[in-house]
Structure 1
Amino acid sequence: MLSSLRLLDFRCFASLDIEAPPAGAVLIGENAQGKTSILEAICMLVRLHSPRTHRMATLSRFGADQFGIAGTSWSQERRVRYSRDGFRLRVDEEKRPNQSTYLEDGGLVVWMGNEDLELIRGSGEIRRRYLDFLGAQLDPAYRRSWSRYRRALRAKNLLLKEGRTRDAEIASYEEILVEHGTVLMEIRARLVEGLSPFAAAAQLAISGKDEKLTLNYLPASGPDMRQSMLQAKERETRLRQAVVGPHRDDLELRINGMPAGDFASEGQQRTMALALKLAQGRLLEQRGGKLPIYLLDDIFGELDPLRRNALMNHLPTDAQKWITTTHLDWLRETQEISKLARLVISQGSAKTQ
């Protein structure tokens, strides 16, 4: 999947060159040495996406005004360079004019981290991002519609904030919102339908208990977005913001029929977060036609040996796995991880242990 990775002025690394083992690697090091940044760079190379920030300029090393990432993934030499002028993208030395053309033949990624607990505890925005990252990897129509929806939503909100009657202009943007919002709703509904059995199976496997996890897509506008906008017109005028549409959707999570955020225990919530990401990987494999790379950021220290082994056993055997950790005390108890190569990350370098 990923056989080499090279960084230039990315996060804390002036430069870094890693030859990647086929099965993946365990990245070992103290905090703030750049382990997570390596996973982030892989995600950027494969998907042009950072799970840590939306501001690309912040990925440049302090004092640098650009960054570069290159590597061989799925037998393609891919190059990403970002500066104040935007992205410059190449695949096998061929220039790709935009992000869509770069991503159309790229790979797939699943990111798993301790922050995934917010999928259970946090706001609907976090669960929408979970669906967005999956939808954008599987369907170019999702990326296109989400981009156009956001632009139209921003324009509508600006008009509403002015507080003056701009009905004709608002109506023109609402046509765009309905067109692309409907696409997003339809794809999200199919995603949740596909995720549900995988998430339920993963919950049972990792918990080792008869815990029933159910997912339910909750579109904020109901089945008819246009009608919902008409009904919300007075409210939107009063609040001066758009309150109907996919930007307000949510993903309902229930454990044994009860709302997970309110009734699930700490252990159940951790297992649910893992189950959601494992389900994401299974759906990517099923509908994307290839195994994703699994990027696991410092999650094993928080799991007991039973759940660690259950998690590793539930991951596809042939998938490449990159795992970060500050220590190896738990490694001996986790059979599958002990087979991976080990790289010590320290002071801007990576050395084989």
Structure 2
Amino acid sequence: MVRTLRLLDFRCFSGLDLELPAAGGVFTGENAQGKTSILEAICVLTRLHSPRTRRMATMARVGTGHFGIAGETWEQERKVRFSKEGLALTVDGESRDGQSKYLADGGLVVWMGNEDLDLVRGSGEIRRRYLDFLGAQLDPGYRRAWARYKVALKSKSLLLKESRPNEAEIAAYEEILIEHGTELTASRTKLVTALEPLAAAAQAEVSGKAEPLTLAYRPSGGICLRSALEHARERERRLRQSVVGPHRDDLELRLHGLAASEFASEGQQRTLALALKLAQGKLLEQLGGRLPVYLMDDIFGELDPGRRNALMHHLPGAAQKWITTTTLDWLKETPELENLARFTVGSGSVTR
């Protein structure tokens, strides 16, 4: 899936040249040495997305203002260059004009990290991002709809903050919000319907217990966005902000019929977060037509041997796995990983 990776002025790396076997590799080292940055670079190269930041400029090595990522992924040579002029994207030596064209034939990614616990405990925004990252990988139209929705939402929000909002302009932007917001709600609802049985199966396997898991998509103002906007008009003018729409929707998670954020134990919540990411991978495989690469950032140290082995058993055997860890003490308890290539990361360099 990802055969080579080359970095230039990315995070703490002035330069890096890696070659990985098909199965993947384990990267070990102390904290703040660059392990997570290697996984982040794969995510950016594949999906133009970082799970750590929304600003490309923050990934440039301090003092440079630019970075480059290149590599052979899914039998294509892909390059991402960032500078003050913006992004330059190429595939097999040919320039791709725009992110959508670059992503059209790119690979698929599942990111797993300790922060995934926030999928259960955190705000609705975190669960929306989970759905958006999945939807954008499966359907280019999803990414377009979300981008256009956000532009219209920002414009409407600015108008609402004025002392005397221009109602005609607000109405014009609301038509755009209704068009693309309705598309997003329908797409997310389908995603959640498809995810639910996959997540429930993963929850049962990783926990080793009968823990009925249900997922439900909850639109903030109901299914009809036009009606929701009409009912929210007075409240929006009073609060001077947009209060309904896909930017306020949520993904409801329940174990045994109870809200997982309130009633599930920490162990159950951690397993549920894993189950959501495993379900994401299964759905990408089913609907995306290829295996995703699994980027697993320091998650194994927090799991007991039973959950670690169940997790690895649930992952597709042929999928490539990039794993970071601060210690290898747990590796002998996880036979599925013992044959992965091992790398040591420290002081901006990587050795095998």
- TM tier relative to shorter chain: over 0.9
CA distance in 2, matches of 1:252, 1:207: 20
Inter-partner Cα distance in structure 1 for 2:234 and 2:84: 41
Quote how far apart the aligned CAs of 1:86 are.
1.0
Identity of matched residues, %: 68
- Please give the alpha-carbon distance, in whole angstroms, between the structure 1 residues aligned to 2:113 and 2:275: 12
Residue 254 (1) aligns with residue 254 (2): yes
Letter in 2 for 1:285: E
Number of the residue aligned with 1:24: 24
1:276 aligns with 2:310: no
Counterparts of 1:57 and 1:236, CA distance in 2? 34
Do 1:163 and 1:240's aligned partners in 2 also have CA atoms closer than 8 Å? no
Question: Where does 1:101-250 land on structure 2 (aligned, <5 Å)?
Answer: 101-250=101-250
The 3-state SS of whatever aligns with 2:161 is: helix
Match of 1:2 in 2: 2
Aligned residue in 2 for 1:302: 302
Mark the runs of 5 or more structure 1 residues left unpaired by the alignment: none
The one-letter code matched in structure 2 to 1:342 is R
Aligned length: 352
**Mapped contact 1:294–1:320 kept (Cα < 8 A):** yes
- Deviation for aligned residue 1:183: 0.6
The aligned residue for residue 265 of structure 2 is 265
CA RMSD, Structure 1 to Structure 2 (Å): 0.5
* Corresponding residue number in structure 1 for 2:93: 93
Report how far residue 143 of structure 1 moved: 0.2
Amino acid at match of 2:114: N
Can you list the C-alpha shifts for 1:155-205, whole angstroms capped at 9, x where unaligned?
Answer: 000000012131100000000000000010010000000100000000000
Cα gap change, 1:232/1:346 in structure 2, threshold over 3 Å: closer, same or farther?
same
Give the Cα–Cα distance (whole angstroms) in 2 for the partners of residues 337 and 178 of structure 1: 48
Q: Which runs of 4+ in 1 moved over 3 A?
A: none
Matched residue SS, 1:163: coil
Structure-2-length-normalised TM-score: 0.99
Letter in 2 for 1:319: A
Aligned residue identity for 1:15: G
Distance (Å, rounded) in 1 between the aligned partners of 2:95 and 2:199? 39
Using the TM superposition, give the Cα deviation of residue 85 of structure 1 relative to its aligned residue in structure 2, in angstroms: 1.3
Give the CA deviation at 1:49: 0.2
Q: Could you list the per-position Cα deviations for residues 207-250 of structure 1 after superposition, in whole angstroms to 9, with x for gaps in the alignment?
A: 00111111000011211100110111000000000111000000
* Residues 60, 66 of structure 1: 8 Å contact kept: yes
Aligned-partner Cα distance in 2 for 1:217–1:65? 40
Q: Please name the residue that 1:39 is paired with.
A: 39
In 2, the alpha carbon distance for the partners of 1:133 and 1:116 equals 14
Deviating more after overlay: 73-82 vs 213-222? 213-222
Displacement of 1:349:
1.2
Q: Aligned AA for 1:106? A: G
Structure 2 counterpart SS, 1:328: coil
Q: Distance in 1 between matches of 2:98 and 2:154?
A: 22
Q: Give the 3-state SS of the residue equivalent to 2:3 in structure 1.
A: strand
Q: Deviations over 1:99-151 (max 9, x none)?
A: 00000000000000000000000000000000010011011111000000000
Q: Is the 8 A contact 1:127 1:251 kept in 2?
A: yes
Task: Indicate the SS of the match to 1:151.
Answer: helix
Post-superposition Cα deviations, 1:247-291, rounded to whole Å, max 9, x if no partner, equal 000000000111000000010000000000000000000000000
The residue that corresponds to 2:347 in the other structure is 347
**8 Å contact kept, 1:23–1:318:** yes
Structure 2 stretches of 5 or more lacking a match?
none
In the alignment, is the contact (CA less than 8 A) between 1:163 and 1:237 conserved in 2? no
State the alpha-carbon separation in 2 of the partners of residues 271 and 84 from structure 1.
42
Per-residue CA deviations over 1:37-88 (Å, capped at 9, x if unaligned) read 0000000000000000001100000111100000000000000001111110
One-letter identity of the residue aligned with 2:238: R
Distance 1:152 1:166 in 2: 15
1:66-77 map, 5 Å: 66-77=66-77
Aligned residues of 1:221 and 1:246 also touching (Cα < 8 A) = no
SS in 2 for 1:162: coil
Contact 1:4 1:17 in 2 (8 A): yes
Q: Secondary structure at the match of 1:2?
A: coil
Q: Return the alpha-carbon distance in structure 1 between the equivalents of residues 207 and 32 of structure 2.
A: 32
Residue 20 of structure 1 and its aligned partner are, at CA, apart by 1.2
User: Any idea what SS the aligned residue of 1:327 has?
Assistant: coil
Separation in 2 of the partners of 1:65 and 1:247?
31
The letter for the 2-side match of 1:22 is: A
- Secondary structure, counterpart of 2:68 in structure 1: strand
Query: 2:337 & 2:30 partners in 1: Cα distance?
Result: 19
- 1:336 aligned counterpart, secondary structure: helix
Asked if structure 2 preserves the Cα contact closer than 8 Å seen for 1:12 and 1:34, the reply is yes
